């Protein structure tokens, strides 16, 4: 359990909070590239850690991320016109449709048509602009101090060929931390996802090993190794012939996790990003660093298979199975082939995590030995947020791209073999992905 004070510290991410300050030191996975796919596309409205922004791609292909509201009288630039050089001022930018003030991607006001042509007023007007970048079919935004801007993340899924990955996004109506804790806590896989073979064809090749190990031993012992990027987590289950079955995952500062890889199959990654303190984006990525995903795989993910969720077509990214319809829980299914009666791995996770309340009251928890990794991640985040709040020159961990080049694994090992040593090689991301092209 956590004290009231620590629960607040962990979950509050506004700009004045210690956790908000820590999280603002990292590039934020903010949008799928497809949301601003075309030059001069419609602006996208987006809230990150309580800050409202608009993101757009200019007619000449550059990305802009601006505070949402116009400096004049605070109308939303979401309704604005994304104009090309052929406009009256000859520049690309976003024009407010209330009185026509227009902004460049640097936030400077470049046209103010409701003031006299001789006026110099516009030269004094600037709204907040945020650094924005694109990598791995993801739009990344940096909300922190400009002097501290880090290198873009070198997470393996973001640097492999686009044919090798599939990304999806869904809205989760809970605080980011409890969503992320679900990603770290792999002991629930033996229960909540025990029907996963129904939803995840990527596991069929492993049906006689992975699934059976997971269901045969539902009380894994957790081992946590602190690392420069975050934590290496080993979940140990008993396997046949006196061996251990290890599922080895990483949690990377401040909001990423990798799910254990089965053999040479695809890897699942997640990013849990605060929208505000009661909602988060869950980005899910399935990737194979070694080969392209097949059309069959990506079709399956697109239809809500594996860890991906089908979402409403209204742009909200709210899953079609959501708390308004009790996730379409099927009690007959629950009595027969499914532990939960809820269809799909992602929705099983969402149902449990949202059912805890928007911001779970961690003073009421009773944590056991299988919660070791969750406890360690909390401690790490709390310690780093406190350290930064006390001394703004402290460098948060996990910002070095070289440290992020890791991947998850699984292994069956004799009992006397070190899981860390035995899997060292298979946990390295392939160096070829980082060669300058």
Does the protein bind Fe ion through residue 349 (CB under 5 A)? yes
Q: How many residues bind Fe ion (CB under 5 A)?
A: 1
Q: Assess contact for 354 and 339: CB atoms under 8 A.
A: no
Tell me which stretch binds Fe ion (CB under 5 A): 55-63, 215-223, 328-336, 341-349: 341-349
* Residues of span 74-103 touching Fe ion by CB under 5 A: none
Bond prior to 56 in cis (omega within 30° of 0) = no
- Of the pair 113, 145, the CB lying nearest ligand FES is at 113
Is 63 in contact with 139 (CB distance < 8 Å)?
yes
- The CB density around residue 85, as the number of other CB atoms within 10 Å, is 12
- Block residue for tokens 């679900």: 182
Smallest distance, ligand FES to C-beta of residue 143, A: 23
Instruction: Give the nearest distance from C-beta 54 to ligand FES in angstroms.
Output: 12
Q: Which range binds Fe ion by CB under 5 A, 44-52, 112-120, 346-354, 390-398?
A: 346-354
Smallest distance, Å, CB 85 to ligand FES? 21
Q: Which is nearer to ligand FES, 96 or 160 (CB)?
A: 96
Q: Which does 140 bind (CB under 5 to 8 A by kind): ligand FES, Fe ion, none?
A: none
> What DSSP element (H or E) covers 252?
strand 243-252
SS (H, E, C) 347-377: HHHHHHHHHCCCCCCHHHCCCCHHHHHHHHH
**How long is the chain?**
437
Which among ligand FES, Fe ion, none contacts residue 349 (Cβ within 5 to 8 A by kind)? Fe ion
**Closer residue to ligand FES, CB minimum distance, 74 or 355:** 74
**For residues 119-148, which are near Fe ion according to CB under 5 A?**
none
* Least Å from the CB of residue 69 to ligand FES: 8
**C-beta of residue 121 within 8 angstroms of C-beta of residue 115:** yes
* 156 binds Fe ion, rule: CB under 5 A: no
Using the contact rule CB under 5 A, the part of the chain among 26-34, 86-94, 156-164, 344-352 near Fe ion is: 344-352
Binding partner selected for residue 171 from ligand FES, Fe ion, none, CB under the kind-specific 5 to 8 Å limit: none
328: its two tokens: 């379409």
Cβ-proximal residues to 87 (8 Å cutoff; 6+ apart), any chain: 93, 95, 102, 111
Q: Which residues contact 66 (CB under 8 A, 6 or more apart)?
A: 53, 54, 77, 94, 103, 105, 107, 127, 128, 129, 130
Residues at the interface with ligand FES (CB under 6 A) = 70, 72-73, 75, 96, 98-101
For binding to Fe ion (CB under 5 A), which residues are involved? 349
């Amino acid at each position: 359990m956590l004290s009231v004070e620590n629960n607040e510290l962990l979950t509050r991410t506004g700009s004045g909070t210690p956790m908000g300050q820590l999280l603002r030191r990292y590039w934020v996975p903010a949008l799928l590239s497809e949301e601003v796919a075309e030059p001069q596309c419609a602006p996208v409205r987006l809230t990150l850690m309580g800050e409202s922004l608009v993101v757009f791609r200019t007619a000449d292909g550059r990305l802009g991320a601006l505070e949402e509201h116009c400096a004049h009288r605070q109308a939303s630039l979401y309704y604005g016109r994304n104009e090309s050089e052929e406009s009256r001022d000859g520049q690309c930018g976003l024009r407010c449709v209330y009185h026509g003030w227009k902004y460049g991607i640097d936030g400077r006001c470049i046209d103010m048509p409701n003031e006299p042509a001789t006026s110099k007023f516009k030269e004094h007007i600037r709204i907040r602009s945020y650094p924005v970048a694109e990598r791995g079919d993801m739009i990344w935004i940096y909300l922190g101090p400009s002097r501290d801007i880090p290198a873009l993340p070198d997470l393996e899924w973001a640097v492999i060929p686009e044919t090798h990955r599939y990304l999806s996004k869904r809205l989760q109506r809970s605080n980011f931390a409890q969503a992320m804790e679900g990603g770290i806590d792999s002991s629930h896989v033996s229960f909540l996802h025990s029907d996963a073979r129904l939803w995840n064809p990527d596991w069929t090749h492993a049906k006689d090993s992975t699934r059976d190990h997971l269901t045969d031993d539902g009380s894994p012992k957790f081992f946590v190794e602190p690392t420069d990027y975050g934590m290496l987590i080993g979940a140990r289950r008993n396997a046949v012939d006196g061996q251990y079955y290890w599922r080895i995952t990483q949690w990377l500062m401040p909001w990423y996790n990798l799910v254990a890889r089965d053999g040479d199959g695809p890897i699942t990654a997640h990013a849990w990003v605060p929208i505000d303190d009661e909602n988060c984006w869950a980005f899910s990525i399935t990737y194979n660093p070694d080969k392209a995903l097949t059309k069959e795989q990506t079709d399956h993910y697109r239809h809500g298979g594996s860890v991906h969720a089908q979402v409403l077509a209204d742009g909200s990214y709210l899953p079609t199975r959501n708390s308004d319809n009790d996730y379409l829980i099927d009690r007959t299914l629950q009595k027969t082939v499914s532990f939960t009666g809820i269809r799909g791995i992602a929705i099983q996770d969402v149902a449990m995590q949202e059912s805890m309340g928007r911001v779970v009251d961690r003073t009421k928890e009773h944590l056991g030995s299988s919660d070791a990794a969750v406890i360690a991640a909390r401690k790490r985040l709390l310690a780093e947020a406190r350290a930064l709040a006390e001394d703004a020159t402290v460098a948060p961990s996990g910002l070095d791209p070289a440290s992020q080049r890791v991947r998850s694994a699984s292994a069956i090992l004799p009992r006397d073999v070190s899981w860390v040593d035995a899997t060292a090689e298979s946990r390295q991301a392939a160096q070829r992905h980082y060669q300058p092209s």
